[in-house]
């Protein structure tokens, strides 16, 4: 993450919550939403921020105005991270 754009955090697990905490407390970066694939959306908000289906993210949080951060758990981390990274990059997001 290299700019001062607000950040969308991919995930709703403990790692995503921890990333939100560190972004809020230890950086000048502003978390603005969480995102997961539509099949995994099970709430409207997380950590006080909206949860946006990843499939809708381009409309609500365009890459020209937001960056994407994808923290992952150790289990399947590389495969999951690569999949989210490639999909996000294909949609125009910086990480």
Q: What is the pLDDT of the chain when averaged over all its residues? A: 89
- 83, 89 contact by CB (below 8 A): no
So what's the pLDDT on residue 75? Answer: 66
Instruction: Give the pair of three-digit tokens for residue 38.
Output: 């539509």
Q: What is the pLDDT of residues 61-75, one digit of tens each?
A: 999 999 999 886 666
Instruction: Give the pair of three-digit tokens for residue 56.
Output: 């809708």
What's the maximum distance between 2 C-alpha atoms anywhere in the chain? Answer: 32
So what's the pLDDT on residue 25? Answer: 93
Residue 92 has pLDDT above 80, yes or no: yes
């Amino acid at each position: 993450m290299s700019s001062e754009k607000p950040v969308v955090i991919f995930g709703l697990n403990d790692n995503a919550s921890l990333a939100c905490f560190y972004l809020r407390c230890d950086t000048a970066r502003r978390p603005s939403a969480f995102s997961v694939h539509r099949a995994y959306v099970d709430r409207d908000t997380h950590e006080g921020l909206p949860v946006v289906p990843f499939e809708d993210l381009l409309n609500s949080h365009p890459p020209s105005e937001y960056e994407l951060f994808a923290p992952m758990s150790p289990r399947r981390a590389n495969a999951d991270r690569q999949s989210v990274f490639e999909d996000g990059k294909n949609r125009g997001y910086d990480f």
